[in-house]
Amino acid sequence: MTSRPAPCFVAAFLILWCAMGAFATSNGAWLANVPQRERERVNPYRDQPDALAAGRRIFLDHCAHCHGKDAEGTEKRPFLKSSRVQQEATDGDLHWLLVNGNRSQGMPSWVKLGDPQIWQVICSVKSLH
Amino acid sequence: MAKKVLTSFMRAAWARTVCAALLLVGMVLSSCLQCHAQEYPYFVTYSQEMEEPGNLDIEWFNAAGNPPGGNRFMGSDVEFEYGLKAWWTTEFYLDGQATQNDSTIFTGFRWENRFRPLAREHWINPVLYAEFEDISADKSLREIVGHDGRYDFLVPNGLAHMNKERELELKLILGSNLRGWNISENFIGEKNFAGDPWEFGYAFAASRPLQLAASAHECSFCAEKFQAGVEMYGGLGDTDGFGLRLTSQYLGPTVNWTAPNGMTVAFSPQFGLNGYSIPVLYRFSVSYEFQQFFSHFHRSGQ
């Protein structure tokens, strides 16, 4: 029996390609986009010295090249000791940002690190103020 | 006597490949003291993860096998993967292979681009993949489509090299992250510009780090440095005959280890599931990631 799945495959590919248009229009105001339940999430590693040390290692491995070793920011990447990150954003907000990224602004998703490492790096970032 | 000659040929081919890899490793380590990778241990399957913008990942992939009635082979490719944007990754591959009792040849190149259409993470995250390849006598087995099978590996390199394959390959990559697991599925469609029918294939993989939380102190062999999983892939026929009939299928465990200097090494024995497949493939890879690659040149020029 002969089947012809190729047109369907190409059509699906083109439809998904077009969805990129919607993505391209997304803005960088990530903090306003965080759902309330995400914002209220509690960091299970908060105030744990080991988590702070582990988070510092993760930060140096994955974040420092863009944000600077002391989170001082670089030419195109933000300073992480800002009041926005240190006071306005909750741990839950930062977790949401690290999971989802802010791709239109160049921030990738770090979901591949897994939840425990994401929370650990948040401990480190929040200790910088 | 003949066996001795064959063995020395294979040793020479392996020695050349290993020397090339060591050279690559030396170049990388001498120019980049801080290079880090966080890779899934997949050889055929693509996950939804993109390269971070500005990062260059160099990977050396190998597949070795012994098709019944044919000669042992090792297919290799060197891959240069660069993150252009957080939603756009481009890759360039150089392919080659060595076959016992035959020759060692350059088999061609591939150029691929991956696009992530959705801005946020979802239960299932799609990625669109488009690749142009210009190859012949390829044995790196980076994907299985159509009726690819062990009989393709019985053709001598001299003959197989004459059959140029210029192809467009499209993939729909779906990936999910759930409780530390990554689960990825690829649906592949490939079209040869010579007018052959569309060929189809699939790949599926799942993996998880052995430990999710990072240790407070640097360590080389702690569980967080290892990822283990399983990978399965195979052909799905073509437009003249879609399905599993006369296709090769493979399944195997896979594991990787990330060294403290950022080098990632992966290994997987993969087993043919039917008589159309090569009985066992041994895959291994080495990869490095240069973070913010071009900024190194920028800074050194100042």
- What is the model's pLDDT at position A72? 85
Return the half-sphere exposure (C-beta side, CA atoms, 13 A cut-off) of residue B136: 11
- Taking a C-beta distance cutoff of 8 angstroms, is the pair B285, B43 a contact? yes
Contact A42, A116 (CB under 8 A): no
* Ramachandran class of B293: left when φ > 0, alpha when ψ lies in -120 to 50, beta otherwise: alpha
pLDDT tens per residue, range B211-249:
999 999 988 999 999 999 999 999 999 999 999 999 999
pLDDT over threshold 50, residue B13 = yes
Amino acid letter for position B96: G
Tokens of B293: 């690659």
pLDDT at B195: 87
**If you measure CA to CA, which chain B residue comes closest to A61?**
B36
pLDDT tens digits along B109-140: 999 999 999 989 999 999 999 999 999 999 99
What b-and-e string marks burial along B71-100, b requiring 16 or more CB atoms within 10 Å of the CB?
bbbbbbbbbebbbebbbbbebebebbbbbb
| This prediction's pTM | 0.84
Nearest-angstrom CA–CA distance, B257 and B243:
36
Q: B298 vs B209, which has greater pLDDT?
A: B209
Q: Which two tokens stand for residue B288?
A: 């490095």
Pairing of strands B199-209, B88-99: unpaired
CB A54 within 8 A of CB B214: yes
pLDDT at B229: 98
With beta carbons less than 8 A apart as the criterion, state whether B196 and B239 touch. no
**Does the pLDDT at position A10 exceed 70?**
no
* Confidence check: pLDDT of B7 > 60: no
pLDDT tier at B301 (50, 70, 90 boundaries)? Answer: very low
* Interchain CB distance below 8 Å, A107 and B86: yes
Least confident of A55-59, B28-32, B108-112, B202-206: B28-32
Q: How close are the terminal C-alpha atoms of chain A, in Å?
A: 68
Least confident of A5-9, A64-68, B253-257: A5-9
Whole-angstrom Cα distance, residue A85 to residue A129? 9
Find chain B residues with C-beta within 8 A of A49's C-beta. 216
Q: Which one has a higher pLDDT value, A18 or B142?
A: B142
Choose the closest CB to A16 out of B126, B215, B292: B126
Interface confidence, given as ipTM, is 0.79
* Chain B positions in Cβ-Cβ contact with residue A54 (cut-off 8 Å): 213-216
Whether the CB of B242 is below 8 Å from some CB of chain A: the reply is: yes
Q: Is B246 helix (H, G, I), strand (E, B) or coil?
A: coil
φ, ψ for residue A102, nearest 5 deg = -140, 70
Contact A73/B at CB under 8 A: no
Range with the lowest mean pLDDT among A64-78, B25-39, B40-54, B263-277?
B25-39
* Among B residues 157-186, those touching chain A with beta carbons less than 8 Å apart: 170, 172, 177, 180, 182
Chain A's closest residue to B216, CA to CA, is A54
* pLDDT bracket for residue B262 (50, 70, 90): confident
Q: How far is CA B93 from CA A80, B82, B111, B131, in A?
A: 37, 12, 6, 11
In this prediction, residue B6 carries a pLDDT of 46
**What's the gap in Å between the CA of B238 and the closest CA on chain A?**
8
**pLDDT tier, B79 (very low <50, low <70, confident <90, very high otherwise):** very high
Chain B CB within 8 Å of residue A43 CB? no
Q: Is the pLDDT of residue B186 over 50?
A: yes
Summarize pLDDT for A15-42 with one digit per residue, the tens.
656 555 444 434 448 888 899 999 999 9
Look at residue B302 and tell me whether its pLDDT is greater than 60.
no
Q: In this complex, is the C-beta atom of B30 within 8 Å of any C-beta atom belonging to chain A?
A: no
Output the pLDDT for position A21: 46
- Residues found in chain A: 129
Q: What is the pLDDT of residue B21?
A: 53
Q: d(Cα B144, Cα B153) in Å, to the nearest integer?
A: 13
Contacts of B174 by beta carbon, 8 Å cutoff, 6+ apart: B48, B124, B125, B126, B127, B184, B185, B186, B187
Instruction: Name the nearest CA neighbour of B97 among B132, B60, B62, B149.
Output: B62
Is the Cβ–Cβ distance between A120 and A54 less than 8 Å?
yes
Q: Any CB–CB contact under 8 A between B292 and chain A?
A: yes
**Summary mean pLDDT of chain B:** 88
Instruction: Return the residue of A nearest to B197 by Cα.
Output: A6
For residue B134 the two structure tokens come to: 């210009």
A53 Cβ under 8 Å from any chain B Cβ? yes
Q: In this model, does residue B32 exceed pLDDT 60?
A: no
A20 touches chain B (CB under 8 A): yes
**Between these two residues, B259 and B36, which has the higher pLDDT value?**
B259
